[in-house]
Structure 1
């Protein structure tokens, strides 16, 4: 059968194709017709949201040789073959009706993926496409061996009544027992539901727009289906009652733990964004890019393009999707970063950037808008480090405004600022573990103990009193929590305050709990009411930061990828100091490592006019892989080509064997 050739859309910014899926039985060939139609409210169709599958499954190159999965598309009375992925084959068979035609919009088929101009225009109106659909059909994939158990748990959680967040752990346990749900001590019973939420769909970047804008959502997994209200209610009960499906530390590996965290976080944000949209509110695109930075996309440029439909004030032509070869990953990242820096007149782009333990596809001052990398570290911090929640009291360079400069090639960013210090010591530097690293609570506890021990050694080694005049023990506990409470208010300042005594007591209990060994005295019962006060701040906000000291005898919390000898800079208009690393062979060029906290300098105490400080233009760039996208394409091509050769050889071998077998039988 001849290969299907797309007919050009009259105006791809105003028209769409609809897949008119013909009726049929489960095992019959897939047949359809692609119809062109104007993009308006009079058109009736359903849109589909699903995970495309890995590039090696698409058979993009092999479809001319081995069309493993195809749909027969009618044109002018004849049928032509259009190659599709195995996942899409499952989707179409699930949604095909037995008796009548079904009008669907599916990006992989309804957009001519080989025409970059059309793809750019169609992606630009995708928000309208999903918002205009009668409903969005979400396909989570085919059932697995554990799906039935996962669905039973989902139904059980849905049947449980919603309540206000539990006031204490006793009420939480009572709610779980009353509804006969597994406890935190039964992680094996939660495993099927964890596997369910780790399905690729939950981490896909494009599903954010597809679900947030949908009028109506129906979820499917094989024959199972539920509506949006069901999923929203389940997620609320999981979150409000701290069900143990949230516990990523009981996952078999760090990778699976990271996937679970990301899936549940993305689902929670989709609920939030749908609520915002119902109130006619949207978040800024840069904030959305930060929130969904770990989502997955096949094309790295889609990490930005996929969010345009749900972002606020994104009509500027400079933000339009571009898929031409000249619009590389690097060009796209620089285009967006320069737009945000110019429009916001602050350093928000830099707070989201830095070295993150993976190879960079853009200079270090540009956030990871291209990778969707899993967080494989032993902690994940937000709180006061989160650009969306930064405390108003932090301002390391008061009275200054950003001053930016650009190099001719646009990859180097110059920022007016001052180098103020150098990192001297770091406690228990965290490591990027293998994706297959076994994950258990003993590992986490051991790392926390090591960090506490080494941070004490560093703090106790400071000469005399701290530069601010504070007691060394006071400095230690304040620095570990960046001098902030859990609600991002300044920590109690006066020793005679009851709140100060609670925090100090909670710090001592936290230390004793971490360092407790067999034979030691148990924690005094009078301390139990405040035992979680200190630990909760560190676990929630500083889990991926490391304690350290500087040459000027300040202590602080630093990015986990910081190193001894890294410089600390205050950039004009900044709220946090930044950790920088010299680029080898370039005296005035630095990599941006990340933001940091320096105790005693966060609230305007630093006098940048002091003659010991030199104000200069600090240039940021750093190493990045300029040719990675081309290399990846070549590697992927070769991998697919080799797979095709092997498959073709297998087909020929089986055919020859079958002929030989028949010949032997006939003889």
Structure 2
């Protein structure tokens, strides 16, 4: 194989190799031709976007590769001869993965692909030459931008793929307009509860069958929707076509349906069908939003759930999306072998801080529960953790905890520490269950203890239960997301918490045999929620300014839970002054809440000594997200973040 790439040596810039797959010949072997072209000559080619490993099996271990990621199938490849007078080039054997081999078979046996040229990373880059690999990775953005079309290979089809694609087309055809959040208006009457009804059958025909919806849910569960390199490939493509076996569909149709499934109660339904809380159906919608970003930190936040065989690629795969803002910056230049994963992430963090005027990066560091690299400073996010973390908002622009005070930042690159200004708002004294536990149906006695410890009227003048339901969803809901959350979500919360309390009481009674305490707290919670089925007939207080059910737009408990589940890895907490908030699962009692200029949200810090702290993560603290903490004229002091 060394001889093949030596015969097709690439110039340091502008040149790439393209692959041609002639039609099936006498032999059963796949026989391909490679040639060198210059991007400046605008060659016509298709760029392939695919997963190296199995297209359907998801490995639960973060960053782990299964055996299907290893090359196991043989193909033949030669350098294309430019002249009949030249000696016939030698055939070389190349090993590829099973998933790529399946695609090559499809392309070879389809006459419509006989004259096509492809750019396929595994074959067109000499993977054993680290210098060439680094150079070509730096050209990835140009390669995908220059392709006439990008083919997203989702893997081999199954018996349901045809109907799944038909359902996606039918749903996409109901979308109107191109403006995000408005194009799915025509789909709002299509809900999980409508499955099997005459109305839905009249609208979608055979596509209304529940089996097709289940198949669609499983399609989004394919590995393609979690691969880090697809972010750049999809974002930069001029045009995309998705292929699954012999079936094809416009990628834009997938994007529209992804948005619809993401912002409605279908999210909860899909998690139940797939048995997984990984919301892969949201990925096309997320990547569509990423097209207008150009900000590498925003892209990193949106793509946390993605995986890559090499954890450094969690950063490198996004450089093309960031474009000119990262070009020529040595800290972000792809380096394989010589630079560790921790060093890659730390250098990227320093560059992001230098290029920005805020401290958004610090709110992306989620504490010990989400750090697997021991040498990583606490303020550097561990991007190898493939879980969607944070408060569920990419840039936190709807918040301004430190108002307009500019940041103060000193970066000590040699010691890997930061100096910032901030003031301590309060300390955490009670910690509740995390959202993931609640979504899994576990009891939540600590939530009830926190509710009981809160004053009936919060410092904002709202009732504690008004504060509670808003805090659980970071006071953000609706389509498009609205802050503060619409009052119409309040009755949905009442139904939701009542169902959770009932299950909590029953399970606790079964486990302990004594439900007296939990019943008392459950009754306290339910009776003080205006409009609850267990509520007393007391009049509404002046703070409970809308009765559940008054809203013209009815929101049900499924929609509240959908909103609640958008940020799963959060934990409820209460501070010594009885402020309520949610923050990283990593938080502990005695951690402190800080307002730090430059950070749009309060930060949770863990004290190492009186002047040095470790970052635990960003937080939502009700009543302190719009600069309210500055009304007392607090004193800011220098602290070190290590």
- Output the TM-score relative to the length of structure 1: 0.73
551 and 538 in structure 1: CA distance in 2 versus 1, 3 angstrom threshold: farther
* Distance in 2 separating the partners of 1:571 and 1:532: 36
Query: Which deviations, in whole Å up to 9, do the C-alpha atoms of 1:351-381 show, x marking residues without a partner?
Result: 222227334333331223233x145xxxx87
Answer with 126-135 or 507-516: which moved more: 507-516
Is 2:141 aligned against 1:127?
yes
* Distance in 2 separating the partners of 1:2 and 1:474: 68
* Distance in 2 separating the partners of 1:238 and 1:534: 16
Answer with 284-293 or 591-600: which moved more: 591-600
198 and 356 in structure 1: CA distance in 2 versus 1, 3 angstrom threshold: farther
225 and 415 in structure 1: CA distance in 2 versus 1, 3 angstrom threshold: same
What is the aligned partner in structure 2 of residue 548 from structure 1?
Answer: 573
388 and 226 in structure 1: CA distance in 2 versus 1, 3 angstrom threshold: same
What is the aligned partner in structure 1 of residue 397 from structure 2?
Answer: 390
* Distance in 2 separating the partners of 1:417 and 1:522: 44
Please report how far the alpha carbon of residue 615 of structure 1 lies from its aligned counterpart in structure 2 after TM superposition: 1.8
* Distance in 1 separating the partners of 2:561 and 2:410: 34
Is 2:44 aligned against 1:48?
no
C-alpha contact (below 8 Å) 1:582/1:590 kept by paired residues: yes
577 and 232 in structure 1: CA distance in 2 versus 1, 3 angstrom threshold: closer
What is the aligned partner in structure 2 of residue 247 from structure 1?
Answer: 269
* Distance in 2 separating the partners of 1:216 and 1:97: 24
Counting only pairs closer than 5 Å after superposition, residues 560-571 of structure 1 correspond to structure 2 as 560-571=585-596
What is the aligned partner in structure 2 of residue 83 from structure 1?
Answer: 95
Q: 1:330 aligns with which of 342, 348, 354?
A: 342
What is the aligned partner in structure 2 of residue 424 from structure 1?
Answer: 429
Query: Which deviations, in whole Å up to 9, do the C-alpha atoms of 1:1-59 show, x marking residues without a partner?
Result: 99855446342321111123233159711112221222224422222111111655478
C-alpha contact (below 8 Å) 2:32/2:76 kept by paired residues: yes
* Distance in 2 separating the partners of 1:485 and 1:44: 45
404 and 444 in structure 1: CA distance in 2 versus 1, 3 angstrom threshold: same
Is 2:316 aligned against 1:302?
no
What is the aligned partner in structure 1 of residue 519 from structure 2?
Answer: none
C-alpha contact (below 8 Å) 2:604/2:618 kept by paired residues: yes
Q: SS in structure 2 opposite 1:548?
A: strand
What is the aligned partner in structure 2 of residue 592 from structure 1?
Answer: 615
103 and 615 in structure 1: CA distance in 2 versus 1, 3 angstrom threshold: same
What is the aligned partner in structure 1 of residue 639 from structure 2?
Answer: 617
C-alpha contact (below 8 Å) 1:121/1:321 kept by paired residues: no
533 and 327 in structure 1: CA distance in 2 versus 1, 3 angstrom threshold: same
522 and 285 in structure 1: CA distance in 2 versus 1, 3 angstrom threshold: same
Is 2:107 aligned against 1:107?
no
Is 2:203 aligned against 1:179?
yes
Counting only pairs closer than 5 Å after superposition, residues 29-68 of structure 1 correspond to structure 2 as 29-53=29-53, 55-57=65-67, 68=73
Over the aligned positions, Cα root-mean-square deviation in angstroms equals 4.2
Counting only pairs closer than 5 Å after superposition, residues 276-291 of structure 1 correspond to structure 2 as 282-291=293-302
Is 2:612 aligned against 1:576?
no
Query: Which deviations, in whole Å up to 9, do the C-alpha atoms of 1:434-472 show, x marking residues without a partner?
Result: xxxxxxxxx738458656533322315x9xx76667765
Is 2:381 aligned against 1:357?
no
Gaps of 5+ in 2: 55-64, 81-87, 177-182, 507-522, 524-531, 538-545
* Distance in 2 separating the partners of 1:191 and 1:416: 51
Please report how far the alpha carbon of residue 247 of structure 1 lies from its aligned counterpart in structure 2 after TM superposition: 2.5
41 and 265 in structure 1: CA distance in 2 versus 1, 3 angstrom threshold: farther
Q: SS in structure 1 opposite 2:617?
A: strand
Q: 2:322 aligns with which of 311, 329, 341?
A: 311
- Output the TM-score relative to the length of structure 2: 0.75
* Distance in 1 separating the partners of 2:287 and 2:2: 42
What is the aligned partner in structure 2 of residue 630 from structure 1?
Answer: none
C-alpha contact (below 8 Å) 1:139/1:220 kept by paired residues: yes
Please report how far the alpha carbon of residue 477 of structure 1 lies from its aligned counterpart in structure 2 after TM superposition: 5.2
